[in-house]
Amino acid sequence: MEYSKLVDVYEQLNKTTKRLEKTHIIAEFLKEISIDDMEHVILLLEGRIFPNYDAREIGVASRLMLKSLGIAIGIGIDKIEKEWKKQGDLGLVAELLVKTKKQATLHSTKLTTKKVFENLRKLAEIEGEGTVERKTQLIAELLTSAKPVESKYIVKTILGEMRIGVGEGAMRDAIVWAFFGNKIGIKYAREMNDIEVEDREVYNKYADAVQSAYDVTNEFALVAKAAKSKGLDALENIGMKVGIPIQVMLALKVDTIEEAFETVGKPAAIEFKYDGFRIQAHKGEKGGIRLFTRRLEDVTKQFPDVVEYIKKHVKGKSFIIDSEAVGYDKKTGRYLPFQNISQRIKRKYDIDRMSNDFPVEVNVFDIINFEGKSMINEEFEKRRKLLEKIVKQEPKKIVVSKIKIVSEKKDVEKFFKEAVNAGNEGLMFKSLNSPYKPGARVGYMIKFKHMMETLDLVIVGAEWGEGKRARWLSSYTVACLDENDDFLEVGKVSTGLKEKEEEGLSFMEMTRLLKPLIISEKGKEVKIKPKIIIEVGYEEIQKSPTYESGLALRFPRVISQRIDKGPHEASTLDYVKKLYAGQKKS
């Protein structure tokens, strides 16, 4: 497929903010893609080069891109940088400069999606001596052949700045509409503000099948190929693979014990809600163990102690188990807050020392696959009994999560106190007869905490400080996520961080994290690529005409960095509105 066809789709998507219209554009495009092109075209459409569970990175920052543009277009970096400061977007700069450059100096070879994809994947493989030069040449090769508008999207893809609204929901629905639309009877409204579905029940069947296939593969390309080639049967037979992480089951939040019982039923299983981080552990038939976070990041190397615990204490030739790794104080045995062990997740050096200084206990609470058989459709009670059979518990290494079966409020209150006294956040409620539903908040699992809810927000902007903070980015613009997967600002936060690194999350550390993500700079203010997510506390949520969300946080403060979450796991605008409405009632 010619790259220009994909670029035309990018342009169409950029011209609308309506999710239904975006979905329709994607659906019509999916019909045109051949099976052979499906994998790389869909990844490029999502703004990716690798599936989201693949840790490989292109490793190209703005400075290297400036150099590549200079080579491809034949002008000085200073001139490109000047235009960048003016436009605030390197993709737009590339389009403008290629357009104004005499065409005689540029090749006219037509780019294909495969050529773009292959060149970009090669960027991740280059290492060692001469890395910068070789990467620069690969990028320049593409830009030299690119039309102006193509160059814009090549740059945006490389820098990870493709914000065209192709979120998980839009992609799922587009696959349903593209390959099953005639069976559902979809009719589009005149202005794409709405759709009509002749048979809603049939639509839900196909949508659930697409979502379920994605939840166990984490690749829309595989899902689309299956749907296009063999239809519903192929989707329903897509199986999980040990070693490839699946979307973990997510929990709803409730404010009262009564609401929790109403959601999951009676009797219910209640467990400690640990303040740790999710670990999905995979053991293959050859004995290899891999560990993934809820963001699907491979952290096997960072946690050799956990690998050893699982290898010695969990029976079975192959399995996928769901667990929470919780830090604890070696002297008192008391559980510690997440931030005490969070630094281990990104650590690449001194692994053994970190394991000793910041030990974790693995609390196993579910099993997803055992001996090659999927367990997700088995009842929770059965999955739990299997766990208790195969896990040989050793406190402060690996245990099965503490659980009670209850029907009375007083029993919940007693267990809640026990959980909090042990250093935990609260309780989880679980339905005894429920399946494991990857990636969905469907009411099978409930969080219950007695405290003001915090928000997980993405940093989308920052400001250089003054005086002794002049060298730091010390004020951060934060945003929530709307239904189109766009980030909407809800305020600025500048308190909660430390001035000395040894005291906790510091301004210096945050500056180090954010500087490589700067998209543009104007005076003291910078725009930040949405990647870093932080937990934010606040006194109140207010209506506000200042921010595009329509809401603002009063007296916000940074509580911690959520390195266990990605930007698209940020708190949603709907959730912020729910908290706003709830505080008005109280």
Residues classed as catalytic: 273
C-beta separation of 367 from 320 below 8 A:
yes
Which tokens is 236 given? Answer: 């329903």
- Tokens 């959730």 label which residue? 575
User: Measured between alpha carbons, how far is 263 from 406 in angstroms, rounded to an integer?
Assistant: 14
Report angle CA 517, 523, 528 to the nearest 5 degrees: 20
CB atoms within 10 A of CB 174: 27
CB atoms within 10 A of CB 266: 12
Any idea what DSSP says for residue 375? -
Within 324-468, residue ranges assigned H as helices are 351-357, 380-390, 409-421
Which tokens is 29 given? Answer: 């495009």
User: φ, ψ for residue 220 (rounded to 5)?
Assistant: -65, -25
Which tokens is 542 given? Answer: 């207010």
User: Measured between alpha carbons, how far is 182 from 165 in angstroms, rounded to an integer?
Assistant: 25
Please list the residues that pair with 145 across neighbouring strands: none
C-beta separation of 196 from 208 below 8 A:
no
C-beta separation of 112 from 118 below 8 A:
no
Which tokens is 82 given? Answer: 């000047």
Counting Cα atoms < 13 Å in the Cβ hemisphere of 29 gives 30
User: Measured between alpha carbons, how far is 26 from 579 in angstroms, rounded to an integer?
Assistant: 34
Within 16-165, residue ranges assigned H as helices are 19-32, 35-45, 62-73, 77-87, 90-100, 113-125, 131-145, 148-159
3-state secondary structure of 536: strand
> Residue 374 burial (CB < 10 Å; 0-12/13-18/19+)?
middle
User: Measured between alpha carbons, how far is 3 from 41 in angstroms, rounded to an integer?
Assistant: 9
Counting Cα atoms < 13 Å in the Cβ hemisphere of 369 gives 25
Q: Determine how β-strand 373-374 pairs with β-strand 403-406.
A: unpaired
